[in-house]
Structure 1
């Protein structure tokens, strides 16, 4: 019996990770031992004298390495949400080991021969539709991971995948370091003109925590975004913008340009080895869009619909800025500031007008309450479940009939040990084993505005929408109701995975829901109808600009991953060319976008970032069903749950969507919602 806690069954509520017992030096020995034991499980499948069938081969393969999977979830989630130098060092050693382990499975000729035999000879009429899906995904998984390669090509594939695991990890570490390394420390009060009291209080608290006088502003979103929107000092806005936009492009030890060149080149080589023209062709074969031509056509269609509106949006801000004292051209560091002022003038609305009504505690109640209204879920906080940081809260989630559904972790605020942005993840995914339904452990990780000594955490409206978005992903994980783990929850096509998250954002502009969450933190006054109407009226403010900006990210991604030869050019020049059609401002010397684009270089969105806009088409069309029947209609919600949220990847996304909606999605609702079509 091992003494390593990571190699034991967790004697905890719902078998959740016992974080307080896990030490950094547990990880590496556990990974090595569990890789070995998982290899033994694979070897049993390979050496079995039985005739290969669905259960002794496909299911046995699906369930192998389960404890290794649990430890991997724990470790890599912490590496994103609560990392340190020791964890990062372990990650650099472990990632290649896991890649080698995976390659030893996918490139095992005997194992693939058995999988192929089942794939070709199994009577599919004897299987359920989910089992057929697992069989097909298992076979495709081997082919797409090199099982058909031979000789030198096979070894080259091993080398490429191992190197990629190291490079993408390094990209993320560099970006976190660049974000943490910059601070704007101010001591002159006159330089703070325009900044709201809450932002100043947070900046003063940060300075005090570092035993410094004055105010400290950082590149983390709750600090950076309001600074850019409200700071009257144009030069300081420029400094902040340059620091943020040069991350990974400072020609120092954290520079990401060479990493990008290596990553995209290795992805090209890998795609070529597997018989694809580019990495995009390889990736999109397993997406709803199917191929780069369809993606590029989709992006172009949206660009055609939005570009003139976007130009008009920017011109409107520029004219306003000139009328309000701006000398010279409107620059990128001016746009957020004057755009926010124009919004306040047009609608009587800015982030600071709504922020007092969006206390995190009340927003949380409203978001969880929305799941109660729609799906009958209930949430019970449980302080006995171990957490990886004392800011993390945990809930038990129950269905309407009292059935336990999930453990739910929430981690709200920025730390230097946490990557930027917001995401949903899991420590355990739903599936069924011999003992019954194994329920998931789901987590959302955010970087919301921190509370201060005098104020609770007060969210911007954008942060409220982010909460809804990530909670939609969480519901996809929590409500999963499938048999096989590899098909459960969010294990779906990348351009479909954003539907459950983005549809939740629609409730954020509905009066009935805003009345539930909008309560003034000092007076307990419910958010007034007049302010709600301003939120609704301003929903499409600068929507052309926002659309084109998002399209530029997708076009950048597609350009990098449509390369058909290794890249030897200049990263900045290539980037500017890829985004030229969407540019609304002149380029700024020294800045880069790609060097901070973690989604595609340290995440799962390579050749898939367009999926956010693709899924907007789906969510706008899907929300029409709720508007037709009532935004809290239980019958519509039940259908969405039964046909989308519970099904995971057990069927093709379009099949699931049409079962819910009755037809394929139309782009019209998105164009209308975005104000791009009257």
Structure 2
């Protein structure tokens, strides 16, 4: 299609109001319900008894188009609730959840609509004429109907609807508690506690101090005179990730590190000292148990043994047993390297007067090891990764790989507005357009990259608007997404300076963004990341990280913030050498989370809070090689599985990492900037979205099934295993 700027259908965020979004959501649902009512009436009078497959498809496409308005208004509200949460936004968002859940359940259980899809599939001659993307979307929709209880008797459908509604509310509350508990914590530091902290770390703590002063004033805790009397700089430790990591990595005060660690791992638990905020308990314990019980009830209604089976029914992996075997086998491969990692940390800990290494020592001692063994300090290399340079280098990399260019669009202001100026939800946000080699507009994306109050922690890509066209009404839209991070903001007149870990995070999310933006599919349900199996959706994101570990890639994304000098060879060599540093322990940690997630969702009857903790402790006993304090309540903040889409699916990160490592090995063979290989990856993985099964897409690119060899090699496990057991010959297995 000949796309224009207007096909981006951008939001005027400057004039978005929660109440307006509320009304738009209700209006969209009302119109869609009217469509379903008319379809029901036609069915009851047998007007659609002999409907053709062609007409059935027209009805399906008309209903899909009608739902664009809902996707748009609810998508904006959900996004704002994540990036700039206020009481008004949160109230409207949560008030709508039961209505939205009820509507979603009605759609999933609407027999006349379901019959339309069946009519299309049952006319095999007609179905064979459909383009692959449309056929795949219909197949996935039929699966979704089954998982929505379309075949249940009326009373069971009502029970299913109630469960869905309650789950949506509980997940939102879980997320609220984690955010509120994170934002509620503030620890004022004295001069002695600042020892060891870096210049950038002190700047972060001072910035947190200014935010804390503002809260004290706004809440009426202190008067303006009392706030003005506080020292400047006023150093405050918070649980926002940049601040937390600055302290845990560099603070010499071990008691301070333990204090902050305990606060972080007890958020939203019975041990959280901020048990009440705005009069509400933030303890997620009861919510976690109730979520598991409701998920089990949902699974039983649908005829599954437990919720893990429901989750896996739409993924690449076939069974709980297959996933558990994959995770435990990978743990066995990683354990020798992890033991070497731990021994190295313990050896260095003794040099710093620590007899027994504890979790709050790990990041601190690891940094000392890096400085000594690799002559590498994150703080020394941070000035070489100013965010503007990293972004421009990232854009240069994808231009070489895929023949695309990225251009920033002007930001809307009162003084300067144009037909193509872009509104935003916060002053830090930037908007970019993506163009193909022939200068055709492909799509657009927003960057919202800095940590701030009222913003959910972590990093994510929100595929807000899919590529889509509807010829009947001459409608076409280009893909638009939001890429969100929580990086260290610009301080002291300098741009944001990233650690290499933050660079990797940016590349990861941009990989998701490319998957969403580069699709050539115009059937929205399978365009971009839509319709892609959850355990394969991390493939493009983890794949993109490889260029931030390559010398050629690093040369494009690094230059000193003051001098412009390239990253010196000794620091580059050290950075590349440290790639697999602590990879054994990090892999076991991810497997611990994944196995815990899998087992609590595969357990029947559903576990109560004590059972959840017992399962986590059992997994740690099996997998972990470092002791975890009894008070650790990591699960109470595990938003991925209790408030996100990763329930019984957290293993997807390691599963997709196998795929991404094997895919990148093709570039290692051909040259990491080989344009032909880049085009092949774009054509077989990025462009096709969910229009084919992920296994098919991968095999079309690689020419074979995926092998675990590249993952073991990239993780440094092969050498560790050989050293640990030279006589034990490892055989190659095709896991996926």
5+ residue gaps, structure 1: 1-10
- Secondary structure of 1:644's partner? helix
Cα separation, 1, equivalents of 2:110 and 2:21: 27
8 Å Cα contact 2:8-2:479 kept in structure 1: no
Q: Which moved more, 1:492-501 or 1:566-575?
A: 566-575
Give, in angstroms, the shift of residue 307 of structure 1.
Answer: 1.5
Cα separation, 1, equivalents of 2:183 and 2:245: 16
- Residues 478, 291 of structure 1: CA spacing in aligned structure 2 closer, same or farther, 3 A cutoff? same
Q: Is residue 13 of structure 2 the alignment partner of residue 19 of structure 1?
A: yes
Q: Which moved more, 1:570-579 or 1:619-628?
A: 570-579
Q: Is residue 226 of structure 2 the alignment partner of residue 198 of structure 1?
A: no
Number of aligned positions between the proteins? 666
- Secondary structure of 1:426's partner? strand
What is the aligned partner in structure 1 of residue 359 from structure 2?
332
Q: Is residue 670 of structure 2 the alignment partner of residue 642 of structure 1?
A: no
Q: Is residue 131 of structure 2 the alignment partner of residue 128 of structure 1?
A: yes
Q: Is residue 590 of structure 2 the alignment partner of residue 563 of structure 1?
A: no
Give, in angstroms, the shift of residue 659 of structure 1.
Answer: 0.7
- Secondary structure of 1:219's partner? coil
Cα separation, 1, equivalents of 2:66 and 2:536: 27
What is the aligned partner in structure 2 of residue 466 from structure 1?
505
Match of 2:306 among 278, 300, 322: 278
What is the aligned partner in structure 2 of residue 416 from structure 1?
453
Q: What per-residue deviation string (whole Å, max 9, x for no partner) do you get for residues 442-493 of structure 1?
A: 1100001111124321000000000000000000111111121111111111
What is the aligned partner in structure 2 of residue 376 from structure 1?
403
What is the aligned partner in structure 1 of residue 653 from structure 2?
612
What is the aligned partner in structure 1 of residue 416 from structure 2?
none
5+ residue gaps, structure 2: 214-226, 276-280, 412-420, 720-736
- Secondary structure of 1:400's partner? coil
Give, in angstroms, the shift of residue 226 of structure 1.
Answer: 2.0
Match of 1:320 among 341, 348, 356: 348
- Secondary structure of 1:412's partner? strand
- Residues 455, 217 of structure 1: CA spacing in aligned structure 2 closer, same or farther, 3 A cutoff? farther
8 Å Cα contact 1:171-1:259 kept in structure 2: yes
- Secondary structure of 2:482's partner? strand
- Secondary structure of 1:411's partner? strand
Give, in angstroms, the shift of residue 63 of structure 1.
Answer: 2.6
- Secondary structure of 2:487's partner? coil
8 Å Cα contact 1:62-1:486 kept in structure 2: no
Cα separation, 2, equivalents of 1:254 and 1:146: 33
Give, in angstroms, the shift of residue 569 of structure 1.
Answer: 5.0
Q: What per-residue deviation string (whole Å, max 9, x for no partner) do you get for residues 654-678 of structure 1?
A: 1111111111111000001101003
Q: Which moved more, 1:243-252 or 1:333-342?
A: 243-252
Cα separation, 2, equivalents of 1:332 and 1:199: 20
What is the aligned partner in structure 2 of residue 140 from structure 1?
143
What is the aligned partner in structure 2 of residue 149 from structure 1?
152
Normalising by structure 1, report the TM-score: 0.96
Cα separation, 1, equivalents of 2:408 and 2:306: 48
What is the aligned partner in structure 2 of residue 3 from structure 1?
none
What is the aligned partner in structure 2 of residue 230 from structure 1?
250
Normalising by structure 2, report the TM-score: 0.88
8 Å Cα contact 1:182-1:218 kept in structure 2: yes
Match of 2:22 among 28, 35, 46: 28
Cα separation, 2, equivalents of 1:300 and 1:338: 28
Give, in angstroms, the shift of residue 112 of structure 1.
Answer: 2.2
8 Å Cα contact 2:32-2:63 kept in structure 1: no
- Residues 44, 479 of structure 1: CA spacing in aligned structure 2 closer, same or farther, 3 A cutoff? farther
Q: Which moved more, 1:117-126 or 1:300-309?
A: 117-126
Cα separation, 2, equivalents of 1:205 and 1:221: 14
Cα separation, 2, equivalents of 1:404 and 1:46: 41
Give, in angstroms, the shift of residue 433 of structure 1.
Answer: 1.7
Cα separation, 2, equivalents of 1:79 and 1:12: 26
Q: Which moved more, 1:113-122 or 1:160-169?
A: 113-122
Give, in angstroms, the shift of residue 44 of structure 1.
Answer: 4.2
Give, in angstroms, the shift of residue 286 of structure 1.
Answer: 0.9
Give, in angstroms, the shift of residue 62 of structure 1.
Answer: 3.0
Cα separation, 2, equivalents of 1:575 and 1:381: 46
Give, in angstroms, the shift of residue 45 of structure 1.
Answer: 4.3
- Secondary structure of 1:579's partner? helix
Match of 2:698 among 650, 657, 677: 657
RMSD of aligned C-alpha atoms?
A: 1.6
8 Å Cα contact 1:194-1:230 kept in structure 2: yes
What is the aligned partner in structure 1 of residue 478 from structure 2?
439
- Correspondences of 1:72-91 after superposition (within 5 Å): 72-91=74-93
Q: Is residue 245 of structure 2 the alignment partner of residue 243 of structure 1?
A: no
8 Å Cα contact 1:45-1:56 kept in structure 2: no
8 Å Cα contact 1:45-1:57 kept in structure 2: no
Q: Which moved more, 1:399-408 or 1:115-124?
A: 115-124
Cα separation, 2, equivalents of 1:634 and 1:320: 45
Q: What per-residue deviation string (whole Å, max 9, x for no partner) do you get for residues 44-85 of structure 1?
A: 444554514252343234333110111111110111111111
Cα separation, 2, equivalents of 1:86 and 1:292: 41
